[in-house]
Structure 1
Amino acid sequence: MSTIAFYDQHSQDFFESTVNVDVSELYYAFLSNLPTNARILDAGCGSGRDTKAFIQMGFNVTAIDASAELAKVATDYIGQHVTVCTFDQIDPTLTFDAIWACASLLHVDASVLPDTFTHLANTLVDNGAFYCSFKYGIQDRTHNGRFFTDADESRLQQWLKNTGLIIKHTWITADARPDRENEKWLNAILIKAVK
């Protein structure tokens, strides 16, 4: 089963297990880099939790997800359409002030991540902010039917070479979900360099 098929099959369970998770500390680190009324791409929106929060804060948010079933659930929750597409299918003519990729890029194969980062960065304005998070580690693995690419600081740095993105800040957090406190996450704020 592919990772997308997993989310299609388990969309309701995934929604229920993530929609109420409090990640407000991550919001602060991200939003402090944004202009008022910023245009945000929620890349891999999952349950729609973060898109809804950003809209309620007054931001203009475009949400995408590769799982059609999860996109349906998120659309209902947000009250705004979620586009079904993969990262590399994003319309390159779109422009955003910021990209939010919370626990989503970790499903992209490590060999493809440099191109994925480049494609996403091409939709960002100069000095635009890009938040991403990965499970902390250096493995590529399949777990419970989903593929994961883990990252540490040096792995992330390697992927970002020649993408136009530079690391502003990284930090490690514990998983915010109950019973997952022992799982560590690498969080990063990236900035698109001015050409």
Structure 2
Amino acid sequence: MVDSIRFYEENAADFFARSVAAEMLPQLRAFAGLLPPGGRVLDAGCGAGRDARALREMGFQVTATEAAPALAALARAHAGVEVRVMTFDEMAWSGAFDGIWTCASLLHVARTELPATLVRLKRALVPRGAWFMSFKYGTREREANGRRFTDLDEAGAQALLAQVGGLELISMQVSGDVRPDRSSERWLSLLCRKAA
């Protein structure tokens, strides 16, 4: 995870420029449909702040986090919400959010650490709270361009959810990358609810 944080710190402006306009509206609308009006949302690992801004504009109370300080500053200016500089293992919320949005952020957590990370985040959700998460599609744990990736396919995602427990899978979708220069890449998106 440390290598990935360093990558985003050193390449914050470039990453912001390449990702801030990526279109995630179908996923955001599906997620928002599971939330109460004006609900509290955690955007954990918010990157450029694109989705935190969209969620704020939908009327939700957004708390955002980003582990790389330089990227957090850009996200804060773009999203118009407070962006706390923190990693997943520093999060200690309990029942604080109606929804958690982890778009392309959990994929930097090592496979062995993913279950504990998900348990920690699940604790931050209210009962029946909604959770969106996305991973690059595959089965490998790898390093690419200075970042670590844990890829998941359907079987890997099902096994992870079974390990974590207490999450009801609403939908699982494989899709292409929304960025034109990455159209050959595939993603696995999960939409879940915390058990009552």
Bin of the TM-score, shorter chain as denominator length: over 0.9
Indicate the residue corresponding to 1:3 in structure 2: 4
Q: Does 2:82 match 1:81?
A: yes
Does 2:149 align with 1:148?
A: yes
TM-score (norm 2): 0.95
The Cα shift of 1:35 comes to 1.0
CA contact (8 A) 2:62 2:81 kept: no
Of all paired residues, the percent bearing the same amino acid is 44
How many residues get paired? 194
Residues 68 and 84 of structure 1 are in contact (CA less than 8 Å); yes or no, is this contact kept in structure 2?
Answer: yes
- TM score, norm. by length of structure 1: 0.96
| Partner amino acid, structure 2, of 1:137 | G
- Which whole-Å deviations, capped at 9, do the CAs of 1:134-157 have from their partners, x for residues lacking one? 001000000011000000111112
1:62 equivalent to 2:60? Answer: no
1:190 Cα deviation from its structure 2 partner:
1.1
Q: Distance in 2 between matches of 1:141 and 1:17?
A: 22
User: How far, CA to CA, are the matches of 2:95 and 2:128 in structure 1?
Assistant: 16
**CA deviations over 1:64-87 (Å, ceiling 9, x no partner):** 011111101111112322101111
Taking the TM superposition and a 5 Å limit, the aligned residue runs for 1:101-140 are 101-140=102-141
- Asked if the contact 1:114–1:163 (Cα under 8 Å) also holds between the matched residues in 2, the reply is no
Residue 171 of structure 2 aligns with which residue?
A: 169
Give how far 1:162 is off. 3.7
Change (3 A) 1:162 1:20: closer
Give me the whole-angstrom Cα distance separating, in 2, the residues matched to 1:101 and 1:132.
Answer: 5
Q: Are the aligned partners of 1:117 and 1:163 in contact in 2 as well (CA < 8 Å)? A: no
**Which of the residues 168, 172, 192 maps onto 1:190?**
192
One-letter identity of the residue aligned with 2:100: I
Give SS of 1:91's match. Answer: coil
Q: Which residues of structure 2 form unaligned runs of 5+?
A: none
Cα distance, 1:92 vs structure 2: 2.3
- How far the C-alpha of 1:94 sits from its partner, in A, is 5.8
Change (3 A) 1:50 1:162: closer
2:52·2:81 contact (CA, 8 Å) conserved in 1? Answer: no
1:181 alignment partner in structure 2: 183
CA shift for structure 1 position 101:
0.2
Shift of 1:52: 0.6
Q: Indicate if the aligned counterparts of 1:142 and 1:148 stay in contact, CA closer than 8 A.
A: yes
**3-state SS of paired residue (1:2):** helix
Q: CA deviation at 1:126?
A: 0.6
**Tell me, which stretches of 5 or more residues in structure 1 are unaligned?**
none
SS of structure 2 residue aligned to 1:13: helix
Matched, 1:97 2:98: yes
Q: Once the two structures are superposed, what CA deviation does each residue of 1:4-54 show, in whole Å capped at 9, x if it has no partner?
A: 000000000000000011111111221111111110000100000000111
Greater CA deviation, 110-119 or 28-37?
28-37
